[in-house]
Chains A and B, each alone.
Chain A
Amino acid sequence: MKPFFDRLRGKKTKPLKAQDNVSTIPLSGEKFGVDSTRSLRIEPQQLISGCGQSIGKQRDHNEDCLFTFSVTSGGETNSSPLGLYIVADGMGGHQYGEVASAAAVRAMADYLLKRFHAYLINPSEEMEEPLQEMMRAAITEAQRAVTKAAPGSGTTLTAALVLGQQMTIGHVGDSRAYSLRNDGCVEVLTRDHSLVKRLEELGQISSEEAATHPNRNVLYRALGQGEVLEPDIFTISFPQPGYLLLCSDGLWSVLPDDTIRNLVSAAPTLHSACQSLITAANDAGGPDNISAVLVQLIG
């Protein structure tokens, strides 16, 4: 009706068609990147996560295990967001790989969440123990749990304990942590404890040869394997603006870095991003169980 009255008053109206033009439609999140959330001034600062898992196309059962946990407590000053994210891949060929990965994840989550219980109730509570030492103790607990629950089995374990803007990564085996920054930079944060990675680092084989090497499943460090365990533990800034990705080799062994980056930035939500990663890994053959955890720090 409005155009009619406008005509009546002698006003010139633009053809309706012009209003359908794309220029007036808000930019989608992918074009904006995280800056769109930043421009919204999200408060309080919070961690959000999505995850996905699939048995893959060539295995008959799932030996992967994943865990996500994010806490926000708004209102208090100085209450940093807290998150714990874990991916574990029970070792193929071993008995009870799924028992091993589940035992490791549960033991680690149990240990760390108990440690943070006091903080969750009262954020001003001082925590004396260094985060890296907590992570080390949690991995020792996980090792103990695996040895007890499934002797002779093994599992990888890659965990990120995020507190405020810093994240402490604990890592054993060949699951991976990636930093996906919004500027397009993809970085593998962890070092695979695998024989082929070692051979590759020494320049003995190329990365192409590594991808098809018959021994590419041989790890030199895993939970539940061997008498001595020296996990990799380090603390770095959370990729912001960007994402943290934890995944098992069922994902990274078939998806190149730029595919991972494109799929994540194209998806509207973290959950759908994980689903597209899983689907892409299955489309690429799905040779192994696939697990992915995607985390974003917003605000």
Chain B
Amino acid sequence: MGSVYRARDLHFPSVVKLVAIKEMINRAPDPLVRKTVVQNFEREANILATLNHPSIPPIYDYFSGDNRSYLVLEFVHGHDLEAIINETGGFLTEERVLGWAIELCEVLSFLHSHKPDPIIFRDMKPSNVMVNPTDHIILVDFGIAKPFQVGQKGTMIGTEGYSPPEQYRGEAGPLADIYALGATIHHALSRRDPRLEPPFSFSERPLRKINPAVSTELEAVVNTALQYNPEDRFKSAESMKEALVAAGRKTGILNSTSVGTTNFHSSAGIKPLWVFQCEDEVRGAPLYYDASVYIGSYDHNLYSLNATDGKLNWKYATDGGVVTRPAAFEGDIFIGSEDQRLHVISARTGKVNWTYYTEGRVHSSPRIAEGHVFFGSDDQHIHAVNLMSGRAAWRFETAAPVRSTPFVAHESVFAGCENGDFYCVDFRGEMKWHHKAKMAVTSSPCEADGVVYFCSLDGSFFALDARAGWVIWRFRMGKGSVASPYAADGLIFIGSADGNIYAIDARTSKETWRFKTEHQVSSSPVVYKDALYCGSADGNIYCLESRTGRLRWKFTTKAPITGSPLVYDDIVYIGSTDHFLYALLA
């Protein structure tokens, strides 16, 4: 290990001639080893001195002394590729990376055809590639490049992450450099550092899945370079260069004509099974109960619709907007309204059975469990109402309005609050624990395997121990969210105001995928079979593969969707602020 200095060559006192001086400190305690180290260093210097290529810095001098050796090289202005990858906000453009890749093939080809023995660079990685101000590449650090004799077994060396499998067996030939170049291009295009991933796992991170802007042609070239078996890769750096040039030509042609190509069902291809028009915006979520679909609307009504054809069974008028999701229990439909009440209506007749008054608007949906209905109100309470008597079992006072829908599990009631408090309350209405987020928790929690999940307007997504309230992990989204998470198959799904739908691994808190919509996502996702359904304020309902986030189809409504979908019996029901409730085939 050593340092690289920027120095001025004082042989030329009247001009500023900058050079790079690479220092190598000889720390080996054994004199024999020390001598070998110096020999290695001088060998590097001698190799470099014989090379004359625009992508290889010329060497001016070398010297040793005091357990230190120095190599004087041309000073390369610019930044190394690793810094460029890290400092670029989004993805690097394919054009730029392609240009560098072709130049790297050229210099590798030059090294591999070195006489008498080919030179294997052996350490191709972004930090060893300098990009100069004219956007050309220079290979630096020939520290471990060595003349290659066919069949010779080397020692194990190389940078973890970029090296091919055979290099771990000490067999590094020209095809090892091809693999490492493939790994370098992959890193540059995907921004995924292979040193943070298990070795040889590039095939698990297909380029276009991470960066869809990459062309299939370039992806194919990178894949060939990254083949596990050397014989499946390009035969030489020269043939890889040819493939890169061909890919570039092809994509160059495509660039002029590739407008609006879509490989999924467009909204034009999807016809709703039925639609139902309310008199105002639909912001709540539907409920399916006994062959009927129930939906509340800003027009103050709760509608009961025939699930098969969308025909109106009945409507029930409250005295305020209905933005909540109904709940059902033993023939009764429960719905909260901005008229401050919880209404309990007969599913059959549409007539009210009883109502329960709070002292604030009800934006929290009712949750039925253990003989009670639980919901929050803007009156700063979580209410627990006995289903038999219609009377309050208890009211739990909170610090701010409760718009989050309570979740009931482990003999506890979980709900968020508009000042950022999150509460766990027992069945007697006593607080068990609470957690404080920086901003409102409008999001409705869900629970899986003893962990409760919710998010806050402060942009944090939390996983808390359901029993004691410990923060197990926290995931940062681009913006805050009022949406509610959905847990399925070890993944947690959540929409955010940053426009993304995220899938987060419940155990590791790592992002598994994200899908970008065109606007805020306030809708809460639902997983049905292997698909995820979620609305967006861009007006679309999206159907994504739940494992990968790949788009299956989307359906465009005429206004933003803020409500959440319901999927039942292969039919998706979702309301839009365009006043319609849609029934779509899942």
Chain A residues close to B by CB (< 8 Å): 78, 80, 126-133, 163-166, 168, 193, 195, 198-199, 201-202, 204, 215, 218, 220, 226-228, 230, 232-237
Contact = CB atoms under 8 A, between A and B. Distances in A.
A130 B507 CA distance: 13
Per CB-CB distance, the 8 closest pairs between chain A and chain B, nearest first, are A234-B507, A132-B473, A130-B471, A230-B196, A234-B508, A130-B474, A228-B195, A235-B472
B432 interface: yes
Contacts of B156: 218
A133 B509 CA distance: 10
A164 B200 contact: no
B168 A235 contact: no
Nearest to B127: A227
A294 to B, nearest CB: 22
Given A130-B471, A166-B450, 8 more contacts: A80-B468, A130-B474, A133-B473, A164-B468, A198-B199, A226-B160, A226-B195, A235-B472
B468 A78 contact: yes
Given A126-B436, A195-B168, A215-B169, A163 B473 contact: no
B89 interface: no
B532 to A, nearest CB: 22
B13 interface: no
B463 interface: yes
B228 interface: yes
Contacts of A78: 432-433, 468
A131 B471 contact: yes
B449 interface: yes
Nearest to A167: B472
A237 B449 contact: yes
A25 to B, nearest CB: 38
A234 B509 CA distance: 7
A220 B198 CA distance: 8
A228 B196 contact: yes
Contacts of B473: 130-133, 235
Q: DSSP majority for the A interface?
A: loop
Interface in B456-475: 462-463, 465, 467-474
A92 to B, nearest CB: 15
A126 B165 contact: no
25 contacts: A78-B432, A78-B433, A80-B465, A80-B468, A126-B435, A126-B469, A130-B474, A133-B474, A163-B468, A164-B467, A166-B450, A166-B465, A198-B199, A198-B200, A201-B198, A215-B168, A215-B169, A218-B156, A220-B198, A226-B160, A226-B195, A227-B195, A230-B196, A233-B508, A234-B505
A46 to B, nearest CB: 15
Contacts of A168: 472
B471 A235 contact: no
Given A199-B165, A215-B169, A234-B507, A130 B199 contact: no
A202 B200 contact: yes
B451 interface: yes
Nearest to A165: B450
B530 to A, nearest CB: 23
Contacts of B472: 130-132, 166, 168, 235
A204 B156 CA distance: 19
Nearest to A202: B200
Interface string B478-495: 000000000000000000
A163 B160 contact: no
B339 interface: no
A153 to B, nearest CB: 14
Contact of A218 (B168, B200, B509): B168
Contacts of A215: 168-169
Contacts of A202: 200, 228
Interface string B185-202: 000000001011011110
A210 to B, nearest CB: 14
A251 to B, nearest CB: 23
A193 B201 CA distance: 13
Given A126-B435, A202-B200, A233-B508, A166 B168 contact: no
Contacts of A131: 470-473
Task: Identify which of A166, A195, A202 gathers the most chain B CB atoms within 10 Å of its CB.
Answer: A166
Contacts of B228: 202, 204
Nearest to B195: A228
Task: Identify which of B468, B505, B508 gathers the most chain A CB atoms within 10 Å of its CB.
Answer: B468
Contacts of A128: 471
Interface string B243-267: 0000000000000000000000000
Nearest to B433: A78
A131 B507 CA distance: 12
Task: Identify which of B168, B169, B198, B465 gathers the most chain A CB atoms within 10 Å of its CB.
Answer: B198
Contacts of A164: 465, 467-468, 470
A201 B258 CA distance: 39
Contacts of A226: 160, 195
Contacts of B433: 78
Task: Identify which of B433, B462, B507 gathers the most chain A CB atoms within 10 Å of its CB.
Answer: B507
B510 to A, nearest CB: 9
A240 to B, nearest CB: 11
Contact of A165 (B435, B436, B467): B467
A232 B450 CA distance: 21
B508 A232 contact: yes
B174 to A, nearest CB: 22
Given A130-B473, A133-B474, A163-B470, A198 B451 contact: no
